[in-house]
Every structure is written in C-alpha cells, then in structure tokens.
Amino acid sequence: MEQPSLDYLKDVLTRTRREVGKVVIGQAAVVDACLIAIFTGQHALLEGVPGVAKTLLVRTLAHVLGCEFSRIQFTPDLMPADITGTSVFNLQRNEFTLVPGPVFTTFLLADEINRAPAKTQSSLLQAMQERSVTIDRTTYPLDAGFTVFATQNPVEYEGTYPLPEAQKDRFMLKIAVGYPGRDEELQLATRMLSHESLPETMLTGGAVEAVLQPEELARLRTVLDKVTVRPELLSYLVDLIRETRRSESILVGAGPRATQALLLAARATAAMEGRDFVAPDDIKDMAPGVLEHRLVLRPEYEIEGLTLKETIAKILATVPVPV
C-alpha cells in the first residue's frame, strides 16, 4: 500500500481542525498540540481549570478521527483494577475470563488524573510505555494506536496529588488549556440558546463528521518518515536537552525520553505545515511543551519566584541556533 503524502496529511489536518472547531470554540493551538501527540503515537497531558473543554476536546478528536474512546474519572478511591480490568472465575467454563477495563481502547481520557493517588496513577505506566497490560501474570496487548490524554487541574487545587516523575516523563507534551477570549465566550453563551448547537447534540446528531477510518491513522503516522532533520539541527536539539541537566536552577533535568519526544514533535510540526524538513523554529516552539513537565526547579530558586517557563526561555536563549 502506497505511503500517504505530506499534502494528504495536511488535507486531513485541515478537515480535522474544521470538524473539531464546530464543537470546540477557539483553542486552535491546543488542538494542534493534541494532533501532534496523536500523529506521533504519543501521549499528552492537558492542564487547565475546570470548564475549559478539556474533556470535550478529546471526545471530539476521537469522534472526528474515527477512533474508539473510553473515559475514566479519576477519584481518590479508584483502584488499578478499575483501569486495567480483572479476571473473573466463570463457573460454567470452570476457568478465569478477562473482564477488560476501559484501558482497552484507542483514545483513553484519564480525566482529572491527579485526583487519584500514585498507586492508581502508576497503573497506566505499562500501558503508556509498552501498549500492553499485565493482569494476573498474563500480558494483554492494547490497540497499536493506544493514546492517553490525561487532564489535570492545577496542582494548587484542593484534593490533587502530584503525578509521579516516571509517569510525567511518559507524556510527550504538557498542553496548557486557558480561558477563551471574550468573543469566543460570547459565542459559547449564544450556543446555549439553541439545543441543536449544544456539543452533545452535534456529536450524536451527525453535525460533526469523521474524516478518517481507524486503520488510516496508523498509515498517516508513517508520513513523518519523509521529514528530514539536518545533522546540525539534531545536535542543537540534543544540546538543548543536555543544557537542562547543567542549569544551576534545575534540580532534575530532562532525560533521553525528552530528546526523543522533542525530535518527534519537531518533525510533526514540520509535517503539519506541509514541509519535508525541520526548521530551528519547530524545535524552539515545541521545547516548552516537551520540557516543562519534566523539569524540577531547585527549591531555593522556586522560593525566589523563578518559573519553569522562564528557565526554559533562558535555556533557549543560551544554546546557539545553527545557521
């Protein structure tokens, strides 16, 4: 089967943005970041206050891209088996049978993931890394396109738990979802006046079309192979990651998985713009989303008011960009 072209990918993305825009008003940059995670086969962490359409966005993306969708509402009493599933003894067959959990899907929405304790959060680690889960010493494969979108409230909100560092590192991007602008919020208010314009009605009533068949998504991901990276840009990318380990203000720098994530993100950004090569701006634009959730500031600098965004900006300014 012939590999899809960059033009075809760009056409699919244009149609996807149009269909998603029917339901999710504004948030264009957030939609693009989610698409980068999807088309690189990675996972994304969405952070924002309640009510800014984080859950709705993921549901809409799954609908538009023709993928299976499951949602888990994380709570303090959620157990790992509630995510992965469990084996139940079948009296008729005299054997144990698997009752699969919501993790057996393509797009998994882990809603308010930081409201569950670390034990439950860590039950997703194997699924995110290996796309498989082990239940009662038996390993079961997940869908090849398995993608986790985890939403979280800001950590200062009551009843939240910090995500373990090992789990945060498995998210390719941290995507900040902000408040809509005034015109967008006015459009949201206007939509509430008509039942036909409500998101639920649009998703179930056929107003939003699917642009792909499930098997097409895996083929589209191969388009990234056509995007080239010059050796000097690859060195620049590696130097950026390594600089996070030398910075005096950073206690824990980015690991090799961040290098891989930034490279994938930069190639996806180029492909989404219809280019078959990575430019320096692709790397610089994606660096904050790739690095912010992976870095840990030293307490003394945090007390002084230094933020991770400022630290990353300083690193980007420090490492020379190749001509």
Q: Which fold has domain 6-217?
A: Rossmann fold (3.40.50)
The full set of domain ranges for the chain reads 6-217, 227-318
Interval 268-313: pLDDT, tens = 999 988 899 999 999 999 999 999 999 989 999 888 888 999 999 9
156 pLDDT higher than 60: no
Q: Which fold has domain 227-318?
A: Helicase, Ruva Protein; domain 3 (1.10.8)
Average pLDDT for 201-219: 83
**Cβ pair 224, 268 in contact under 8 A:** yes
Scan for tokens 């408040």, then name that residue: 179
What lies within 8 Å, CB to CB, of 236 at 6+ separation is 280, 283, 319, 320, 321, 322
Q: The pTM is what?
A: 0.90
Structure tokens given for 243: 């600089």
In this structure, are strands 173-176 and 296-297 parallel, antiparallel, or unpaired? unpaired
